[in-house]
Structure 1
Amino acid sequence: MLPALVLIHGGEHSADCWDLTVAELHRQAPGLPVLAVDLPGHGATPGELATVTVADWVRSTVAQIEAAGLDEVILVGHSLAGLTVPGVAATLGSPRVREMIFAACSVPVQGRAIVDTLSGPLAWYVRRAVRLGKPPATTPNLVAAWLFCNGMTRAQRRFALSRIHPESPSVIVEPADRSDLPDDIPRTWIMTLRDRPLSVRAQYRSIAALGGVRTLIPVDTCHDLMISEPALLATILIERCRLAGRARSARQARR
């Protein structure tokens, strides 16, 4: 039996950013359970973005997993979900979480914040917004296109920009706490090689901060790989599910 896929969106996105990848998952692996969650303050899940915390996002994700009746899962996080995935894994525990997959994620050093990991134009933009105490807002389309959509087709770019949402400034400055994250949950990293907000160097820093990454999968694309390369991403995720299923079968056979 294959574990279910739980897709957790990043900053300024919601569950609908996964739509193209979810369609590919259903096409390539009919019957594979897939849940794309909306974090509080995004999409269909209510929440106050000005005051939301990572713990709120973790609790909501766990509640959506339980409501969907999912037992064993693979958690897939994108970008800012580098904060959410460890908390969900710690809450559900290693018996239920078969793997954590970090796709172009930002993971701060333990006790530091996302804002400390940023560099370049994005760092300036975020720090300025936090310093001025600006309310949650969306990145202007021109900036969002530069950050997230380089190399996309025109249709993909339209799709991506139609799914940009306001984001919380509070979680950007919230210190990360992974002290309760189990060591025995496998960790895989999907590295986006043409990523503008999170360069390859920045992603390697996040990998070092997270620790324990066993598998590195490079993809020659931009930050929003779930839109630019949905078929390839679906293929990668299905293979991770199959590997997890075979590993479970092998463990059962040894008992």
Structure 2
Amino acid sequence: MTWPGLVLVHGGAHAADCWDLTMAELSRCAPELRVLAVDLPGRASRPADLATVTIADWVNSAVADIDDAGFDDVVVVGHSMGGLTVPGIVAKLGAARVREMILLAAFVPPQGSSVVAALRGPLVPLARSAGRIQRSFPMPRALARFAFCNGMTREQRELTLSRLCMESPAVIFEPADRSGLPNGVPRTWIMTLRDRALSRRQQLDAIKSLGGIDTMVCLDACHDVMFSQPARLAEVLAERCRRHARDRS
């Protein structure tokens, strides 16, 4: 059996290393699965000016990484602000290569709107401040702990907070454009039920903005479930990929 490649796209204030624990669990529960966690431009392995980077820059970089990895067909996962990038990745790769799009507690503003315009909850003041000062700055530790880490052990919380990074002040004000998103790609939503950054209602609003989904998976977890419940998340992702495995003998 040949599995599709699994592509993991991080969200705001995170980098590819946020998936390390989940990737380790995937290697145990699905060793045949090839996994790629991308760094979007502005992270350590992809230097860029965060003040001017665009969603298109992120999309193009991720697609180049996927091609460089030699992935023919893929399942693409986007966490949090990955909801801005993943639809563009899917559109650029096309339905012929994307077996499934998975959005994990993702920010998906209405078409033509921005994250800031649609955002509710504890991250609103920080997002609006980013627009006023127009430069990147670190997320306050106390805010990140509240928004991302509820229910974690001390070790999980410290690891999560140690890996936070600077974010673009421009992308969150950029209008979302999903006009090229193909209809033929199955859509799965992983809802985090104890999420403080993106409440259940906001996630349902995001699903509506997306135009609906095919599958819903609910996890009793905080926003950064890849740190708090990596084994359970790995099981879900492996199962979604397993559905698209093909016998090519």
Q: Give the TM-score range, shorter chain.
A: over 0.9
In 2: Cα distance, 1:110 partner to 1:209 partner = 7
- Residue 243 of structure 1: CA displacement? 1.1
Equivalence for 2:67: 66
Equivalence for 1:76: 77
Equivalence for 1:130: 131
Matches of residues 205-224 of structure 1 in structure 2 within 5 Å?
A: 205-224=205-224
Matches of residues 1-255 of structure 1 in structure 2 within 5 Å?
A: 1-133=2-134, 135-245=135-245
Task: Specify the SS of the correspondent of 2:50.
Answer: coil
Letter in 2 for 1:240: R
Letter in 2 for 1:54: I
Letter in 2 for 1:102: L
In 2: Cα distance, 1:195 partner to 1:240 partner = 22
Number of aligned residue pairs: give it: 247
Task: Specify the SS of the correspondent of 2:24.
Answer: helix
In 2: Cα distance, 1:174 partner to 1:236 partner = 31
- Residue 125 of structure 1: CA displacement? 2.0
Unaligned residue ranges in structure 1 (runs of 5+):
none
In 2: Cα distance, 1:127 partner to 1:204 partner = 23
Larger fraction in helix:
1
Task: Specify the SS of the correspondent of 2:103.
Answer: strand
**Alpha-carbon contact 1:15-1:43 (below 8 Å) kept:** no
In 1: Cα distance, 2:215 partner to 2:238 partner = 15
**Alpha-carbon contact 1:87-1:181 (below 8 Å) kept:** yes
In 2: Cα distance, 1:109 partner to 1:128 partner = 22
Task: Specify the SS of the correspondent of 1:17.
Answer: helix
- Residue 119 of structure 1: CA displacement? 1.2
Give 4+ residue runs of structure 1 displaced > 2 Å after superposition.
Answer: none
- Residue 117 of structure 1: CA displacement? 1.6
Per the normalisation by structure 1, the TM-score is 0.95
In 1: Cα distance, 2:74 partner to 2:151 partner = 32
Letter in 2 for 1:160: T
**Alignment RMSD:** 1.1
In 2: Cα distance, 1:192 partner to 1:118 partner = 17
**Alpha-carbon contact 2:102-2:187 (below 8 Å) kept:** yes
- Residue 98 of structure 1: CA displacement? 0.3
In 1: Cα distance, 2:122 partner to 2:183 partner = 35
- Residue 120 of structure 1: CA displacement? 2.4
In 2: Cα distance, 1:111 partner to 1:221 partner = 30
- Residue 138 of structure 1: CA displacement? 1.1
- Residue 182 of structure 1: CA displacement? 0.3
**Alpha-carbon contact 1:50-1:168 (below 8 Å) kept:** yes
Task: Provide the identity percentage.
Answer: 58
In 2: Cα distance, 1:149 partner to 1:183 partner = 34
Letter in 1 for 2:194: R
Unaligned residue ranges in structure 2 (runs of 5+):
none
In 1: Cα distance, 2:66 partner to 2:72 partner = 8
